[in-house]
Amino acid sequence: MKRIVVGLLIALIASTVLFAAGQTEAEQESVIIYAALDEKTTQDLSKAFEEQTGIKAEIALQIEQAGSISGRIKAEADNPRADVFIGGNSNYHADLARNELLQSYRSPMIDEANISEEFMDKNNYWTGWYLGALCMIYNNERFENEIAPLGVNPPATWDDLLNPVYEGEVIASNPATTGGAYLMMAAQIFRLGDIQKGFDFIRELDKNVASYTKGANGSIPLVSQGEAIVGFAWGHDTLKQQIQGNLPITVVFPEDTGFEIGAASIIKNGPNSENAQKFIDFLLSAEAGKINAANGYRYPVRGGVELPEGVPAFESLDFAPWDLDLAEAQTDAWKKEWASITGK
């Protein structure tokens, strides 16, 4: 009898160990994602990754405000819940790296796909995988009825937003919550060649701003609905909404505009670090580039990916002379100065 009991106990312990080992192995075959992207792009990327690798891609957080995700990662620093942070401009990822919250990784896909090093972090804490450019927009009907009769041309430059005719008619966004607003501010500093002149621009613009939205694209629905005449947003998101929704707006890419390097990074001490590396590799693939371009109208960093009709080539746009290192290093200081000017 004792032998039977001992045998049963051994079998029970063995099965428990095997179950635990199997459970651990199953848990390892996943990657947990925080995404600062639109829902469809995030879902399609996750599905394609699962089909390609057999690794489950779990979307734990999807919100188009990279600042909110960055804050979440900082709050979870002692117990990371996710493996990768995708989307949002590189400044957010660089800030997390400075706080030692990211794991360094250089994907072999960079060399395999001949992707430019200018889109990559020199210390490999973040990986650039798409590009975006800022645009201005204006409401066609309101401009023609209210502004054109005054002899004013359609807005074509950043300085046009300072015209007093747009007092209370500009929709801007808040750099505390969205990278697009921060990069718009940086673009003014870089194009004018002087920090003080850049903030003088922000001070003058503030006189015309009706509201500051949390997201970079908050101006699109408000200007489209005629609640304001002009605004600025990400060009890829604006073109997508304009083309697919036949919005009554005009999209303008001004000279000396700002741009972003959309980044991805691996969260330090995340539960599935090896699978996180595989997901970074996947983001640089042609398949991921096609998904991102087709759904988000974004520019992949790798060449040879077809863009949707109506999207101008990235090389055709005119950008302010950019200092990526300075923009990253001054993020907190420039945000504080913006807040002191606007009171937001």
> 75 and 119 share a domain?
yes
Phi, psi of 209 (to 5 degrees): -75, 130
Q: Report pLDDT digits (tens) over 265-307.
A: 999 999 999 999 999 999 999 999 999 999 999 999 999 899 9
Q: Are 193 and 248 part of one and the same domain?
A: yes
* Cα(20)–Cα(31) distance, integer angstroms: 19
Q: Is residue 5 part of a domain?
A: no
Q: Is residue 241 part of a domain?
A: yes
Does residue 224 share a domain with residue 149?
Answer: yes
* Token pair for 281: 């590799």
Is 320 inside a domain boundary? no
Distance between CA atoms of 222 and 253, rounded to whole angstroms? 19
The candidate with the shortest Cα–Cα distance to 229, out of 246, 244, 208, 243, is 208
For 233, the enclosing helix (H) or strand (E) is strand 230-234
Which domain CATH number covers 186?
3.40.190.10
CA dist 288 and 281 (Å) reads 10
Note the pTM of the prediction, 2 decimals. 0.83
Domain span at 224 = 133-257+328-342
Please tell me the predicted confidence (pLDDT) of residue 8.
37
Encode pLDDT of 192-214 as tens digits: 999 999 999 999 999 999 999 98
* Same domain assignment for residues 168 and 223: yes
Determine the length of the chain.
344
In a domain, 76, yes or no: yes
Residues 231, 101, single domain; the answer is: no
If asked whether residues 165 and 224 sit together in one domain, one would say yes
The whole-number pLDDT of residue 13 equals 38
Q: How far apart are CA 297 and CA 300, in angstroms?
A: 9
**For the residues of 10-65, what is the DSSP string, one character each?**
HHHHHHHHHHHHHHHHHHHSEEEEEEES-HHHHHHHHHHHHHHH--EEEEEEE-S-
Whether residue 272 is found in the same domain as residue 212: no
My answer on whether 53 and 127 are in the same domain is yes
Domain co-membership, 270 together with 332: no
In this structure, the answer to whether residues 231 and 271 fall within a common structural domain is no
**Structural domain includes residue 278:** yes
- Examine the domain organization and report whether 82 and 141 are in the same domain: no
Q: How far apart are CA 35 and CA 254, in angstroms?
A: 29
The two three-digit tokens of residue 255, written as one number: 């000279």
Token output for 308? 């949707």
d(CA 91, CA 206): 24
DSSP 257-312: B-EEEEEEEEETT-TTHHHHHHHHHHHTSHHHHHHHHHHH--EESSSSPPPPTTPP
- Does the pLDDT of residue 31 top 50, yes or no? yes
Total domains in the chain come to: 2
Would 321 be classed as within a structural domain?
Answer: no
Distance CA 240, CA 238 (A): 5
Q: Is 89 helix (H, G, I), strand (E, B) or coil?
A: strand
Mean pLDDT of the chain: 91
For residues 56 and 229, what is the distance between their CA atoms, to the nearest angstrom? 45
Q: Tell me: do 246 and 149 sit in the same domain.
A: yes
* pLDDT score of 3: 43
139-164 pLDDT, tens digit per residue, is 999 999 999 999 999 999 999 999 99
